[in-house]
Chain A
Amino acid sequence: MFPEALQAHIAPAVNDFINGLIEAYTPFFDSVAGGILTVLITINDFLVIVPWWGYILAVGILSWYSSKKIVASLILASLPYFIGMFGLWPMAIESLSVIITSVLLALIIGLPMGVLMAEVKSVAFVLRPLLDGMQTMPSFVYLIPAMMLFGLGKVPAVFATLIYALPPVIRLTALGLNQVPKPVEEAALAYGATRWQLIKEVRLPLAMPSILAGVNQTTMMALAMVVISSMIGARGLGQEVLVSINRIDVGRGFEAGMSVVFLAIVIDRLTQNLAKKWEPPKR
C-alpha cells in the first residue's frame, strides 16, 4: 500500500478556491449565467416557432442539397418524425437548444484558440495537457461546481457541455492549419503574403475540412452530455432517460434513448455532408 505518511490533499484548496470564487464573483457568474440564458431562450423561442413538419422538410432539403442522395435524405428526414411519434418532441427541442447554444459558444471560443494553438508554439504547449484534462476528467466532477456557480438548470448544462465539447474543435482547427502542404505555404510567402494573408487566404481555407470535422465532433460530444446534464436539472431528452432509469421503465428509457440517437444521426449526417462540400473540388 501507499504509505500513509506520504499522503497530502489538494481537496481543501480546491474547495476553498470554489467557495472563494462563489463569494467574490457571484455577480460576475450571475451576469454570465444571464447572458447564456438569454442566448438559450432566444434559440429556444426560434426552435419552438418552427412547426414539426418544418424540421422534417428542412432536414430532407439540407440533406439532399449537400449529398444529392434521395433515399438517404428521405430516411434522414423521417427520423425526427419518430421522435414526435414517441411523444418526445418538446424534450427534443429543449435538448436541441442546449446543444446549439453550447456548440455556438464552443465555436466562438474554440476557433480562435485553434488558430492561436497552431500559430504560437507556447500556447500549444500549455493548451494540449489542458485539453486532455478537459476531455478525460469525469464530467460529474465539474457538474457540481458548475451547478454551484450557475445554479440549477440549462445554464450549468451549457457550461459543462462546453468544457466537454470544446477540445475537439480547438484540436482539429490546429491540426488542419498545421497540415497545410508546405509547398503551397511557401508559394504564398514567395508572392509576398503577410502572416495574416497566409492564414486567411491559404491556411484557413485549406484547413476547412478538418475544422468542420471538429465542429461535427463537438456537436456529437455536446449531444452525449445531454443525458448527463439532466442530473443538474437540465430538462429535455436526458431527463426522460433519467426518469425512466429511476422508475425502471425499460420501454420508456428505450424510446428516449432512441430519440437521442436519431437526433445524433441527423446532426451528424448533416454536418458531415456540409463538411464534404468544403473539400477542394476534384474537377
Chain B
Amino acid sequence: MDTPASSGSIVVQDLWKIFSRKSGISFSSSDTEDDSLVEQLDKSDDAVVAMKGVSFTVKEGETFIIMGLSGSGKSTLIRCLLRLVEPTSGDIIVNGKNVTAMSKSELVAFRRENIAMVFQHYGLLPHRTVLDNVGFGLKLRGEEKEAYRKKALGALEMVGLKGWEKYHPAALSGGMRQRVGIARALVMDAPILLMDEPFSGLDPLIRRELQDEMIRLQKEMKKTVFFVTHDLSEALRMGDRMAVMKHGEIVQIGSPDEVIANPADEYVARFVQDEREQLERTEQALAKEKQGKEAAPHVS
C-alpha cells in the first residue's frame, strides 16, 4: 500500500489524567505539576488520578502491550491516544502529529485516517448487518456504499467470516463478533491498531484462536499495534515490548522476557509469578512426555 506503512509511531510524554467526581471541578495542566496537590487529590473522594505522568514510545511496526490490573489506568491511557478521554496534561504525538493540540475537526480527520480501534465489548451496531458494520468506518469517512462494501467483504474474508456478511451481530458468538470488530479495524487500512482487551471476554480456546489469527495477520500487515490486556500469557504471546502499569504509573517497560526474568518491583513480580510457575510446570510436563514418545506433536 501507499504511505501509511511508513508511519506508525506513538510518542507519549508525561501524560496525566485526573477525573473529577464532583461536577463543576475541572483540572488544568498546571495542577499536575503540583506534587502535593496530586497526592491530596489521590486520597480525596473528589477526584481520581487515573494516570500519573505516563511516558513511553511505541516504534513503528511493533506490538506494544500495556498490562495491568483493572483500575491501573490502562483503559484511560488507550482512550487518551484517540482523545476519547481528554488527557489533563501531557503530549501525545502520533506519526509526528501532536494529537493533544488538535482541534475538533482535525481530531475527526485524524481518527478516520490514522488509527483503528478494537474494543473489549465489540461496539458493533445491532441494527446493521455484519457487512455494514465492517464498512462503518469507511462510511463515516464518506466512501460510497459500493466501494466500502467491497472492501468490507475482503476484510471479512481475511478474518474468516466469509458467508456471514448478511447476518446481524446478535446472531454471532462472542468470538465471531470480535472477528467482525477486527475486520472493521483492518478495513480502515490505518497504520496504527489500538486493541483494548479485545479477547478478555472470550473463552480460552477462542481467545487463543484469535490471538493466533492476530499474530498471523500482523505478520502480513506489520502495523503498529497498541494492545491493552490484563492477561500476562497474552502479553507474552503477542508482544514485542510491554509496559506494566500500576496505579496510573508505568512501573516497568521492556521485552516480555526481560519483564519475566527481572521484575522491577514486587508488584510486577507477583504479576509474573503464575507465569513462571506455569512455565516450569510445562517444561516438566514436556520433559516427561518426551521420555514417553519420540517427539511430541506440538501446535504453536
Contact = CB atoms under 8 A, between A and B. Distances in A.
Q: Are both chains from one complex? A: yes
Contacts of A280: 126-127, 168, 170
Interface stretch (A106-114, A197-205, A230-238, A241-249): A197-205
Contacts of A282: 168, 170-171
Interface of B: 79, 82, 84, 108-113, 115-117, 119-127, 136-137, 139-141, 167-168, 170-171, 184, 188, 194
Interface in A224-283: 280-283
Contacts of B136: 188, 191, 201
Given A192-B140, A194-B108, A187 B117 contact: yes
Given A183-B119, A283-B168, A190 B111 contact: yes
Tell me whether chain A's interface is mostly helix, strand or loop, or mixed.
helix
A196 to B, nearest CB: 11
Given A206-B127, A283-B171, A193 B119 contact: no
Given A188-B136, A190-B116, A280-B170, 11 more contacts: A188-B140, A190-B111, A190-B119, A190-B194, A191-B116, A191-B137, A192-B111, A193-B108, A280-B127, A282-B170, A283-B167
A145 B140 CA distance: 49
Interface string A142-157: 0000000000000000
Contacts of B140: 188, 191-193, 197, 201
Interface residues of A, number: 22
A186 interface: yes
Contact of A202 (B79, B112, B125, B141): B125
A198 to B, nearest CB: 9
B125 A191 contact: no
A205 to B, nearest CB: 5
A248 to B, nearest CB: 54
B108 A192 contact: yes
A281 B129 CA distance: 9
Identify the interface centre among B115, B121, B194: most chain A CB within 10 Å of its CB.
B121
Contacts of B84: 186, 189-190
A115 to B, nearest CB: 18
Given A186-B84, A280-B168, A191 B111 contact: yes
Contacts of B141: 192
B123 A187 contact: yes
B126 A183 contact: no
A183 B140 CA distance: 17
Interface of A: 181, 183-184, 186-194, 197, 201-202, 205-206, 208, 280-283
A184 B122 CA distance: 8
A192 B109 contact: yes
A184 B123 contact: yes
Complex A-B, nearest 10 residue pairs according to Cβ-Cβ distance, in ascending order: A187-B123, A192-B112, A280-B126, A192-B111, A191-B137, A183-B121, A183-B123, A190-B117, A283-B171, A280-B127
Contacts of A208: 127
Contacts of B188: 191
A192 to B, nearest CB: 3
B109 to A, nearest CB: 7
Contacts of B139: 201
A186 B122 CA distance: 10
Contacts of B112: 191-192
A187 B119 contact: yes
A193 B139 CA distance: 10
A184 B170 contact: no
A212 to B, nearest CB: 13
Contacts of A190: 82, 84, 111, 115-117, 119, 123, 194
A201 B84 CA distance: 18
A205 B167 CA distance: 17
Nearest to A193: B140
Contact of B119 (A186, A194, A202, A283): A186
B188 to A, nearest CB: 7
Identify the interface centre among A192, A197, A201, A208: most chain B CB within 10 Å of its CB.
A192
Nearest to B115: A190
B124 A184 contact: yes
Identify the interface centre among A189, A193, A282: most chain B CB within 10 Å of its CB.
A189
